[in-house]
Amino acid sequence: MLNKKYFSGLRWKGNVYVALVLSLLLVMALYTVGRLGFYFFNLSFFPEMAWSRMATILLGGLRFDLSATLYSNSLFILLMILPLSVRFKAWYKKIIYWVFMVVNAFAFALNTADIVYYRFTLRRTTVSVISQFKNEDNLGRLLFHFLWDYWYALLFWILTVMLLYFIYRKIKFSGPQFTDSIVSFCFGIAALLLSVYLFVGGARGGFRSSTRPITLSNAAAYAETPNQIGLVLNTPFALMRTASANVIKKVNYFSSESDLNTVFNPLRTPSDTCAFKSQNVVILILESFSKEFVGAYNGDLQNGHYKGYTPFLDSLITVSQAFQYSLANGRKSIDAMPSVICSIPSIEVPYILSHYSGNKINSLASLLKKKNYYTAFFHGAPNGSMGFDAFANLSGFDHYYGKTEYNKDADFDGTWGIWDEPFLQFFAKKMDSFQQPFFTTLFTVSSHHPYNLPEGFEKKFKGGPKLVHRTIEYTDYALRRFFNTAKTMPWFSNTIFVITADHASAEIQVPEYNSAWGYFSIPIFFFRPGENGGGLREEIIQQIDIMPTLLGSLHFDKPYVAFGRDIFHDIRRPFAFNYLNSTFQIFRGNYLFQFDGAKPTALFDFKKDKFLKTNLLDQLPDTVQNLELSLKAFIQQYNNRMVDNNLTAEGSLLKNLKK
């Protein structure tokens, strides 16, 4: 038995383990401060938040803060718990200090950045953002604009780091815990082992062997609505948990392939006997163009006096085939590319950035090339931006036209690309040189933050309450100029035009659009020169419907894979799918159904209940069962085909032959 004299020198004041715990508690406290800042800076996205609900979110967030704190401070923890006397040397303490400050200042910078970036994506930033921006050659300029425009986030970060600095300086530790060196070392070994055990349990989110490490989806346990999940999480945790995640995995809601295909089958085998129509196809994808901005969709707002900011598009919709409930399949520009062109939505990770982005796919470009179409993609940004040129090549486009091909830097907006008005003129004139039939897609850039206007246009477009409104007016003007030019050209009358957006804007003025359906509401309409399309229809349409609808309109007669439907000819009921904060959403009929992958979470009559206040989950069990079945079939087809590289008709036929 050890003599009591060995413990007579026990030091409690300046204890290194007490200092370690206090340091980690300080970091967690500042994560809570960051969560409150995140909430107050994005107040409009969390309407009617009760403090009892906020308390649940703050308490639930501690699990994720603890995990992020432990992972990011693992080197600091190791340096503190090594049972060596060198820990108490001045130079060693200085190393510990700088490790602690630099690591946590960087973690808080990431966390604070989402105060701003959240409104664009409506979820915490994951590791996919690195791939998203890796091809941008103007990151410095973009960063400067964001820091300038969102100075309050920079100030919030500086204040957070100052708190970290001043409070951490007050946490002191000195000397071994015991005067006897042998006892001190043995105690240090025991403390190290205990620390490792506590670290593993805290980082994983639990100590039971059956407990899987917590991930983003666990945040739903503390949230009532999908948008609250972003409030529960913190950004360093989201980044670390998705760093090596293989998000898309096979699921088996249906054990039988025939049962699955009966509910939903993306393989399209046209039975159309009409001759193929060699019409040109032009798709215009408008940057951040919310349906909220377009007056024609919002005749019921402000007692019928709402005008919007798109007088030209309003006039075009009256002679087009448009749909009252038109929805995006994602919240990012890179979500839109595969949705619009390939009828492939994104789930969690944008398809372009997923592990399966190299899969063989069919697209409007690759399918129409079988009918001798010339295909080209236009994007006024610097070549390589967002990886659009690579995806255009993968999709089968013959040529890509970007800032390099435009070759006139005087029209560069200094941030994102060529101003929309001159680039749309370039687009029209280029098409005039193409051999018909052709298929082209253009992606605009000017209605993007920082919402600048070309020189000489500042007084022409006054906009509205939001700065984005004036750039919406400018792009609408650029579209008017484009159509005025195009209609003088011989190809114009033999062309189907599709006008849509990549995603809804982060800038929301109308309260009704601050909802799980409003976040995805964009224009989608089809214009055929010389035809009166009939204006708005009371139907649901989504971006992934564009490809099969166009192919149906042209009487395309070859099989292909599409997750959307031909809105004019498909006998199946219209629906729309999207994914928001670990929640799958399906719109059908009057209803918005939400599902977390394991169980239903909500059912709303989104047409009548625009603010989604009344959850009908327990009131309409038959509707819930039908929608859950449809959504599970959609998810299983998507996930399993993605993993099996089975996204073409040839792949589906080969799979059937193997059986």
Question: Could you tell me the pLDDT band of residue 653, with boundaries at 50, 70 and 90?
Answer: low
Domain ranges of the chain: 4-242, 270-570
Residue 260, CB half-sphere, CA atoms under 13 Å: how many?
20
List pLDDT tens digits, range 370-380. 999 999 999 99
DSSP string for 501-555: ESS--S---SGGGSSTTGGGB--EEEE-TT----EEEEEEEEGGGHHHHHHHHTT
pLDDT at 207: 59
pLDDT at 130: 59
Percent of the chain having pLDDT more than 90? 58
Which residue would you say has higher pLDDT here, 531 or 496? 496
Alpha helices in 343-498, H assignment, sequence order: 364-369, 388-395, 403-406, 420-431, 468-486
Span 550-578, average pLDDT: 94
| CA 272 to chain centroid | 37
List pLDDT tens digits, range 133-155. 556 666 677 677 777 888 999 99
CATH superfamily of 270-570: Alkaline Phosphatase, subunit A (3.40.720.10)
Instruction: Reduce the DSSP state of residue 323 to 3 states and report it.
Output: strand
Range ranked top by mean pLDDT from 218-227, 386-395, 448-457, 610-619: 610-619
pLDDT at 182: 64
Q: Which of 176, 124, 206 is nearest to 9 (CA)?
A: 176
Which residues, 6 or more positions from 310, have their beta carbon under 8 angstroms from its beta carbon? 293, 294, 295, 296, 472, 473, 476
Q: Is 1's pLDDT higher than 60?
A: no
Question: Could you tell me the pLDDT band of residue 2, with boundaries at 50, 70 and 90?
Answer: very low
List pLDDT tens digits, range 306-337. 899 999 999 999 999 999 999 999 988 889 99
Q: Is 281's pLDDT higher than 50?
A: yes
List pLDDT tens digits, range 374-424. 999 999 998 877 778 878 888 889 999 999 999 999 999 988 899 999 999
Distances (CA, A) of 329 to 271, 338, 543: 27, 10, 6
Span 439-444, average pLDDT: 98
pLDDT at 13: 62
pTM of the prediction?
0.77
Helix (H) or strand (E) holding 256: none
Residue 560, CB half-sphere, CA atoms under 13 Å: how many?
28
List pLDDT tens digits, range 606-638. 999 999 999 999 999 999 999 999 999 999 999
Helix (H) or strand (E) holding 101: helix 90-121
Question: Could you tell me the pLDDT band of residue 483, with boundaries at 50, 70 and 90?
Answer: very high
Tokens 């006998």, residue located: 571
